[in-house]
Chains A and B, each alone.
Chain A
Amino acid sequence: MRMTDVILQIEDLHATVAGTQILRGIDLTVRRGEVHAIMGPNGSGKSTLCNVLAGRDGYVVTAGRVRYEGRDLLAMAPEERAREGVFLAFQYPVEIPGVGNAYFLRTALNAVRKHRGLEPVDAMDFLALIKTKMEMVDLDPKFLSRSVNEGFSGGEKKRNEILQMAVLEPRLAILDETDSGLDIDALKVVADGVNALRTVEHAVVAVTHYQRLLTYLVPDFVHVLAQGRIVKSGDKSLAAELELSGYAGIAAAGAA
């Protein structure tokens, strides 16, 4: 495969949170068109990795580098990363009272479009665009006029994340345990949303604790994260193997 296909390259990434070393040397290469699953037990650094990639405050990179489309990702502000096509589906989407869901999403879309030199989308065109996307994630149109995530159930919040992803069409989507706490129907919606992004131009990094999302979202690669390092990588069969042997065995093998 050509190097130009590499969208994300993580090298020896170390990071601390509140002074505690969480990431201890992550190496990962993601190419366009690929779906990577990152699995691991609680506390292995999965969410930290997501937050470092998205640029959240309080996550301090102490060593290593991350290149996104050949550029230094870590030097970019969070909004710049977003406008350049990095999308994080949040584990705990926040509520923004009084701000309409549709208004918020259109504002976000227009911020991204402006960055790409495109005309802003007006309210009418946006409505047409979002209608089909809402059907895809099976969200009732009434969610458009409600405040962002306010009073949404857990599943509705996650569908809303996938809706945002579908509208913003990121080149690199990072899913932070988007599957946690979802029933099977919602899980399928998440998988469908990701699969819709699955083209030669896009890449997906799906962080998950459980193997069951991967039944619907067949990854090209599976990585096991333990104690801040990727201890094992493989294809989709690795997920099945994990299901049988659990993380403990893999982690022990990796640490050895």
Chain B
Amino acid sequence: MSTAAPKIEDLINRDYDAGFVTDIDAESIPPGLSEDVVRLISAKKQEPAFLLDWRLKAFRHWLTMTEPHWQNVRYAPIDYQDITYYSAPKSAGDGPKSLDEVDPALLETYEKLGIPMRERELLAGVAVDAVFDSVSVATTFKSKLAEQGIIFGSFSEAVREHPELIQRYLGSVVPTSDNYFAALNSAVFSDGSFCYIPKGVRCPMELSTYFRINAAKTGQFERTLIIADEGSTVSYLEGCTAPMRDENQLHAAVVELVAHRGATIKYSTVQNWYPGDKDGKGGIYNFVTKRGVCDAGAKISWTQVETGSAITWKYPSVILKGDDSVGEFYSVALTNHYQQADTGTKMIHIGRNTKSTILSKGISAGRGQNSYRGLVKVMKSAVGARNYTQCDSLLIGDRCGAHTFPYMEVRNASATVEHEATTAKISDDQLFYCRQRGLSAEDAVSLIVSGFCKQVFKELPMEFAVEAQKLLGVSLEGSVG
């Protein structure tokens, strides 16, 4: 019948917008991983001895570890000797002093991606540190932030200019031996972002990092370290894209957050790595370790919108060490085609009266597989700890899957732990209802999905919320039938 609803598949199939390749001279080292490679990376970055030792310790430990396979995802074995561990745009040799020195082709890339990098963007109030392949390219608004004592820039730069902070905090939240991918990252990370907010300072603008993998067969291993000193506040945004390539690319980042007494860190991610094509070919393996630690009265809030990557494997976590500290995790994870996501959080309650909230929204379409995996751990010391967890799954079509793996370990009887989970399908009735009111099937799906995600979107900074909503619309086109 000509009036039949468009098939979900037709609506989901839409091209990846950020899939272009930038033609730029890059300095890469040959693929392969050995102690020499670790030394080479460290030497290229003229790192102090403590950092090289730290890397080597991580590398040696990594050699003793085996890749984890407990997560609910499937992929072909990764050949770690076939990955390039360092690739930098050539012109970034000794680091640009200002935007004028940045390769115009790079700036064009970021412009295509809609990243604010120019003066006029001052109005938007976003300071951006952009990481292209492995090297941080330019940081905007640095001087303005410096007026308040805020340090924000590339990780390499922080190593040069503030080695004492790096030495004190690097690995303090995610130790080198934490897990397989964190150990690998610790050994070979090439750059990333660093941020320090001094005591009592409220960061006047959203800080933002944009990650992009451009070179072929390159792994990206960045390291982000954010330190919010006592009573300070910062909101940090992270965005990611990559070109479309047939082979899988590995992204194994580590993010460490330190929130000192009374500090607040809000970390928002819109992850749009290339998800692979509709047949499941190519795409990014996103194996990321993100963790924060809260001193007394501090708060860490993770908000993530995960629409990209072939495989997503990440559990942004909060260690609630200090009394009265607060951890939050708000997540929208969407899988379409052959995408797989195994994501969630860990909330470790150590201090008294610590509170955590987990709100996870998983959307599966096509043949996508979406798993929520979360751990709420209440230690003996955590008198009066509270957790509320809500996991909702939305299915579009009948070939996708949603899974929930909540773990709870409660060792203090005064704790309150609540868990709610729902699974729903976009019903034909909802779709027809919307269409009968004049909405196209596509608009109807995106309306229903954004309604489903509303509680999470309202946690995102304004500009990000708009982007996330758009991204969701794009990622879902073709999901009705």
Nearest CB of A to B353, in Å: 31
B1 neighbours in A (Cβ, 8 Å): 60-61, 74
Residue of B nearest to A57 (CB): B5
List the A residue with the shortest CB-CB distance to B481: A57
> Which A-chain residue is minimally distant from B422 (CB atoms)?
A97
When the two chains form their complex, are residues A99 and B438 in contact, meaning their CB atoms are under 8 A apart?
no
**Interface range on chain A: under 10, 10 to 19, 20 to 34, or 35 or more?**
35 or more
- Interface positions of B from 389 to 438, Cβ below 8 Å from A: 427-430, 432-438
Q: When the two chains form their complex, are residues B427 and A78 in contact, meaning their CB atoms are under 8 A apart?
A: no
Tell me how far the C-beta of A17 lies from the nearest C-beta in chain B, rounded to whole angstroms: 13
A99 near B451: Cβ-Cβ < 8 Å? yes
Cα distance A90–B194 when bound, in Å?
56
Q: Is the CB of A96 within 8 A of B433?
A: yes
Known: A97-B452, A98-B450, A107-B443. A57 touches B433 (CB 8 A): no
Task: Looking at the assembled complex, report how far the CB atom of A184 sits from the nearest CB atom of chain B, in whole angstroms.
Answer: 27
Contact across chains for B451 and A76 when beta carbons are under 8 A apart: no
- Chain B interface, DSSP helix/strand/loop, else mixed: helix
- Which chain A residue shows the least CB distance to B441? A79
Asked whether, in the complex, the Cβ of B435 is within 8 Å of the Cβ of A99, the reply is: no
Give CA–CA (A99, B437) in the complex, Å.
Answer: 14
List residues of chain B with CB within 8 A of the CB of A74. 1, 3
B433 touches which of A61, A75, A83, A93 (Cβ 8 Å): A93
Also in contact, A94 and B438, with CB within 8 A (given A75-B3, A147-B451): no
Residues of A within 8 A of B443 (CB): 107, 111
Q: Answer yes or no: B440 CB below 8 A from chain A CBs.
A: yes
- Our pick among B428, B448, B450 for the contact of A57 (Cβ within 8 Å) is B428
Residues of A within 8 A of B437 (CB): 82, 104-105, 108, 111, 164, 168
* B24 contacts partner chain A, Cβ-Cβ < 8 Å: no
A241 and B3 alpha carbons, distance in the complex (Å) = 39
Give me 9 other A-B pairs in contact (C-beta within 8 A), A79-B441, A104-B434 excluded. Answer: A54-B432, A77-B3, A77-B435, A78-B436, A88-B436, A96-B430, A98-B451, A99-B447, A164-B437
Q: How many of chain B's residues touch chain A, expressed as a range? A: 20 to 34
4 smallest CB-CB distances across A and B, nearest first, come from A98-B451, A99-B451, A108-B437, A111-B438
Instruction: Evaluate contact between B430 and A94: CB separation under 8 angstroms.
Output: yes
A74-B3, A96-B448, A98-B455 as given contacts; A111 in contact with B433, CB under 8 Å: no
Residue of A58, A92, A108 most packed against chain B (CB within 10 A): A108
B98 at the interface (CB under 8 A from A): no
Q: Given A78-B3, A107-B443, answer yes or no on A115-B438 (Cβ-Cβ < 8 Å).
A: yes
* In the complex, chain A residues whose CB is within 8 Å of the CB of B440: 79, 111
The residues in B between 435 and 462 inclusive whose CB is less than 8 angstroms from any CB of A are 435-441, 443, 447-448, 450-455
A112–B5 CB distance below 8 A: no
A-B contact list, 15 entries, CB within 8 Å: A54-B436, A57-B428, A77-B2, A77-B3, A78-B5, A79-B436, A79-B439, A83-B438, A94-B433, A96-B430, A96-B433, A96-B448, A98-B450, A99-B448, A107-B443
Across-interface contacts of A96 in B (CB, < 8 A): 430, 433-434, 447-448, 451
Question: Which residues on B sit within 8 Å (CB–CB) of A81?
Answer: 436
Whether B451 contacts A57 by the Cβ 8 Å rule is no
Known: A60-B1, A79-B441. A97 touches B436 (CB 8 A): no
Is B4 among interface residues, defined by CB-CB distance under 8 A?
A: yes
A74 to B447, CA, bound (A): 26
A144 CB to closest chain B CB (Å) equals 15
Instruction: Give CA–CA (A147, B451) in the complex, Å.
Output: 9
- Docked CA distance A44–B185 (Å): 69
Interface flag for A55 (CB, 8 Å): yes
Complex interface: chain B residues within 8 A of A77 (CB)? 2-3, 435
A82-B436, A82-B437, A111-B439 known; A75-B451 Cβ under 8 A: no
Within 8 A of B (CB), among A95-128: 96-99, 104-105, 107-108, 111-112, 115
| A92–B430 CA distance with the chains assembled, in angstroms | 11
Knowing A79-B438, A111-B443, the reply to whether A97 touches B451 (Cβ < 8 A) is yes
Give chain A residues whose Cβ lies under 8 Å from the Cβ of B439: 79, 107-108, 111
List of A residues within 8 angstroms of B3 by Cβ: 55, 74-78
Whole-angstrom CA separation of A191 from B468 in the bound complex: 43
A212 close to chain B: CB less than 8 A: no
